Every structure is written in structure tokens, then in C-alpha cells.
Amino acid sequence: MQSGRSAGSAPVVAIVGATGAVGVELIRCLEERRFPLSELRLYASARSAGRTLPFRGEPLPVRELGEDSFRGVDVALFSAGGGTSRRFAPLAVQQGAVVVDNSSAFRMDPGVPLVVPEINPEAVRGHRGIIANPNCSTIIAITPLWPVHRANPVRRMIVATYQAASGAGAAAMEELRESTRAYLEGRPYENRVLPHPYAFNLFCHNTKIDPETGYNEEETKVVRETHKIFGDDSIRIAATCVRVPVLRAHSIAINFECERPITPGQVREIMQTAPGVKLVDDPERNYFPMPKDASGHDPILVGRIRRDISDPSGRSIALFVAGDQLLKGAALNAVQIAELL
């Protein structure tokens, strides 16, 4: 690992964006997974500086992020947006830290590894100081598909996401709570965080749409990041990303076509032992992955596994997944990367 600490000593870890929805989960993941650190430093904007957050039974102060914040830091976990990452991540590297960045700032940089530990842990070795955490929808969609891809290469994917408020941050989660309360009480509510009314509604993911392709930025991320992580640009991928009124777990409908015929039974068998995945597939009870079951849990739930009856070749499978956007979609994946370091 690229840092100034002596071999065998526990690292100093910093969290940038510690008071945000993902930052709070980063702290919890470090504690629950007993990450071996000697010191944890919490950073946020001037607005949040002075607060304290609990870690291992003690209140830790939140400091204002500055240009010299990373002296003595070995691992810096960033979750404060692309602009902050572009400004401060290179400074952190200059001061000796390895950065695990949760924003989109460096994901498609050819010199920056884009890592899902269950898929391409070896990519960490190629870092030059910065490692990118993939988009939450990408992680949740492709982690279950990787063991299938290894056994029978996936040649095409069609995905439709059902994305929770947590993907837009703590403020969006609060807007969902407040707008739902207002709707039920018959009060007017003016949305400020998201572009459309959120209570009892769903809408196209709130990212910019490319006028040439018609795809929004979230959909393009799923395509490009999957190619980079799988190391295969030939996979044909189409995505439709939608924001739904759920607090914190994304769900995704996936239809994939393999190189050779494949059966639902084979996919279920693969999922039984797939890392980071839990099979939830009970047709008799009509019980399949749901965001309420995925919220607060590490594994990605996989189920509704069935043959695509529109493909007479027998090479296509449809399934449904749900995963906690704040955990495996963000904080947990970042901490797993830090563990690899």
C-alpha cells in the first residue's frame, strides 16, 4: 500500500463527507467489520464541522476539510461528491494516502482501478493512489452476474432499475419522508431536492439526458462501468434507470443472454455459493427480493430466476435483485476495497 506507515502497523483512516448518508454508513462498516485502524479522522464541510459522531463507543469530532487534512493519513475514504474528490483526492495522494473514492470523478479514468472486490480484487494492485468505487446501480446489478459470466459468458444485458431515495443523499430521503407525510395529511408540499413530486410517484432518474443517445447519465454509467469492471467491452447493455419512493435499497430487473444455453436451475445453483449474494427465490409463497428485506443488510438479494420465454435459443434468463444502496452500493464496497489494501 502506498503510504508512510511502517509495515505491520495499523493504518490511520480518514472519512471525507462523514456526516452524509454514506459517510455515516462508512463509520458503521468500519466498526462492525472491526477494521484494524489506529486512528479515525472525520472530515466534512465547514457547516458540519464541530459535530461529533460515535465510533467504538466514543464521540469523534468532525473537522473541516482542508488542503493539509491528510498528513499522516494512510487510507482516505471519500464520499462528498465529484467536485470535492477532484480537488482533494490528488492532495491526499500527495500527502501519502491511498484514496477510495465513492464519486464518479475518476471511475472512467484508464489509470484508476474501478473495483468490486467480489469481481476484480486484483485490480487494486494497479492503483496509483486512487481507487474508484463504482456506481451503486452497477455494483448491485453485476455482482450476482459475475459468477454466471465466468461459467457461461454474458453477451447481452437489459436492466431496469428501481432506485431508492438514498442514492440522492440524506436530503432526498428526508424529502421522501416529509412529502409522504404531507400527502397523507392532505397538505401541499413543494419538492426542493428532486425535480418531481416524490410521494406515491416515480420518475426517470434525475440525471442529465444525452440528446444524442436519449440515455441519462445513470444509465450510461451502468453500461460503461460494467464494461470496465468485467474487462469486456463487447457485452451489449441497455439500461433504464428510474427513481422510486423507497428509502434506501435499490431493486433491479435484469434480463441477460449468455453465450451458451443456460437453465434457471443452473443459475440458482451458482447463486447458492456466489460471494456477496443471498438467494431469495420462493415461487410457492411468491416471495422474492424486496427493498424492505435488503435494507440494512450486506448481501445482494437475488430471485425471480426464470427462463426468458421470448428467446427460443434457451440462452436468456430473467431475474430480480435488491441491494442496500448505502451498504454494498457504496460504503460496504469502499470498506471492502480498504480491506484489500
Residues forming beta bridges with residue 240, ordered by sequence position: 160
Q: What count of other Cβ atoms lies within 10 Å of the Cβ of residue 310? A: 8
Which among 127, 149, 205, 250 is annotated as catalytic?
250
29 annotated active-site:
no
Whether 340 and 113 have beta carbons less than 8 Å apart is answered as: no
Phi, psi of 124 (to 5 degrees): -55, -35
E strand segments, 22-71: 39-44, 52-55, 58-64
Distance CA 328, CA 24 (A): 14
**Residue 250 a catalytic site member:** yes
CA angle 184, 186, 188 (to 5 degrees): 110
Per-residue CA distances from 15 to 61, 88, 125, 138, 335 (Å): 12, 12, 22, 23, 11
Residue of 136, 149, 205, 258 with catalytic role:
136
d(CA 46, CA 176): 26
Catalytic residues: 136, 250
